[in-house]
């Protein structure tokens, strides 16, 4: 009887061990950190974004590299210190930088854009931030603009060696398809130039979000969560399917909320979206 009881206990322990391992593996596969864009919560270029993000239950903030006169505001050491002190005080990380003004000062046509990116790389190195989002919307749109794309490729080729030396990745965000993004990356030929993937933008452009995530694979350096129709889980974006595609490529980076629909007001809407994403990406 004792032998049978011991044997049964051993089997039970073995089964429990397997279950725990499977659960741990699932959690590891799905573990992503949630952040928010500072402009989404109305704190563009403001260190107070970190405190507000923490109150909303988020772990990180994507920070705007706004311009000040002809340079970037974060070129000021005192502002950099304010951000770093806020991050230490709140425990909320700076996920990455973004230069949103490049939508009006395009890399394809305005010399200031390349100058700002050069400055941004230096700032990122000084603050130990590894990613700078480089957007191509508005005046910077690249779809159906062959000459503009050629100019961007040329600029990225000049910027890439500087980014490589600084350990910084320039992350391209646009309405371009995965195939067109890959063409740019191949022609630039640098590990310091990758894609910032925005699921909402891709869907709005008529691209197959899940296929594109899998096609881009490790060329994706960071991801924006977005639904252009409603609060997350109520709109048109299938975030559970997005999670599956992210798991397929082994993505372990940040998922950064860039909410566009705020029916509950900014803070309540962002908290709602964050809580929803936590249920989707909980690892269960």
39-79 tens-digit pLDDT: 999 999 999 999 999 999 999 999 999 999 889 999 999 99
* DSSP string covering 205-264: TT--HHHHHHHHGGGEEEEEE--SSSSTTTSS--HHHHHHHHHHTT--SEEEE-----TT
pLDDT of residue 1: 47
Q: Which tokens is 218 given?
A: 């490790």
| Better pLDDT: 21 or 235 | 235
Asked whether residue 4 is assigned to any structural domain, the reply reads no
Task: For residue 23, tell me if it sits in a domain.
Answer: no
Q: How confident is the model at residue 29 (pLDDT cuts 50, 70, 90)?
A: very low
The 10 Å Cβ neighbour count of residue 25 is 11
CATH code for the domain of 181: 3.20.20.150
The structure tokens listed for 263 are 């029916």
| Span 148-160, average pLDDT | 98
User: What's phi and psi for 198, nearest 5 deg?
Assistant: -115, 115
**Total domains, the chain:** 1
> What is the pLDDT averaged over residues 92-120?
98
Read off the pLDDT of each residue in 17-40 and give the average, rounded to a whole number.
62
* Inside any domain, residue 50: yes
Phi, psi of 166 (to 5 degrees): -85, -10
**Local structure of 116: helix, strand or coil:** helix
**63's tokens:** 């920070």
Domain that holds residue 159: 32-280
Q: CB neighbours of 7 closer than 8 A, spacing ≥ 6?
A: none
Give the integer Cα–Cα distance in Å for 183 and 78.
40
With beta carbons less than 8 A apart as the criterion, state whether 106 and 113 touch: yes
pLDDT > 90? residue 124: yes
Give domain status of residue 22, yes or no: no
The mean per-residue pLDDT over the stretch 118-146 comes to: 98
* Domain annotation covers residue 18: no
So what's the pLDDT on residue 241?
Answer: 98
C-alpha neighbours within 13 Å on the C-beta side of residue 30: 20
- Nearest by Cα to 178 from 196, 193, 192, 161: 196
Q: Compute CA distances 36 → 84, 119, 258, 279, whole Å.
A: 17, 24, 6, 17
- Does any domain span residue 66? yes
Over 50: is that where the pLDDT of 178 sits? yes
Shortest CA distance to 261 belongs to which of 226, 222, 233, 237?
A: 226
| Selection from 101, 92, 85 nearest residue 39 by Cα | 101
pLDDT of residue 253: 96
- Predicted pLDDT at 25: 39
The Cα 224–Cα 243 span in angstroms is 13
d(Cα 105, Cα 110) in Å, to the nearest integer?
6
pLDDT in tens, 188-215: 999 999 999 999 999 999 999 999 999 9
Is residue 21 in a domain? no
- Residue 201 belongs to some domain of the structure: yes
More confident site: 251 or 10: 251
Q: What is the mean pLDDT of the chain?
A: 91
pLDDT higher than 60, residue 19: no
Please give the pLDDT value at position 284: 56
Over residues 230-241, the mean pLDDT reads 97
pLDDT (0 to 100) of residue 58: 98
The sign one gets for the Cα dihedral 53, 54, 57, 58 is positive
198, β-bridge pairs: 224
């Amino acid at each position: 009887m004792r032998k049978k009881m011991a044997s049964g206990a051993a089997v039970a322990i073995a089964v429990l061990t397997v279950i725990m391992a499977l659960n741990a593996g699932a959690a590891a596969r799905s573990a992503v950190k949630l952040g928010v864009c500072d402009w989404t919560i109305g704190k563009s270029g403001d260190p107070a974004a970190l405190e507000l993000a923490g109150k909303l239950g988020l772990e990180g903030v994507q920070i705007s590299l706004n311009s000040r006169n002809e340079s970037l505001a974060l070129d000021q050491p005192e502002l950099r210190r304010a951000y770093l002190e806020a991050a230490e005080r709140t425990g909320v990380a700076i996920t990455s930088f973004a230069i949103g003004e490049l939508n009006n000062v395009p890399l394809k046509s305005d010399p200031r854009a390349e100058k700002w990116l050069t400055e941004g790389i230096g700032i990122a190195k000084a603050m130990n931030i590894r990613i700078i989002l480089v957007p191509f919307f508005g005046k910077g749109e690249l779809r159906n603009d062959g000459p503009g794309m050629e100019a961007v490729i040329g600029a990225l080729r000049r910027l890439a060696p500087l980014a490589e030396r600084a350990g910084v990745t320039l992350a391209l965000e646009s309405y371009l398809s995965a195939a067109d993004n890959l063409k740019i990356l191949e022609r630039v030929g640098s590990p310091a130039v990758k894609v910032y993937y925005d699921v909402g933008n891709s869907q709005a452009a008529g691209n197959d979000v899940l296929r594109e995530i899998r096609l881009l694979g490790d060329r994706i350096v960071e991801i924006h969560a977005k639904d252009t129709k409603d609060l997350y889980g109520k709109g048109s974006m299938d975030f559970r399917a997005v999670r599956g595609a992210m798991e397929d490529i082994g993505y372990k980076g940040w998922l950064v909320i860039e909410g566009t629909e705020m029916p509950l007001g900014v803070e309540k809407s962002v908290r709602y979206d964050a809580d929803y994403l936590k249920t989707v990406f909980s690892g269960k």
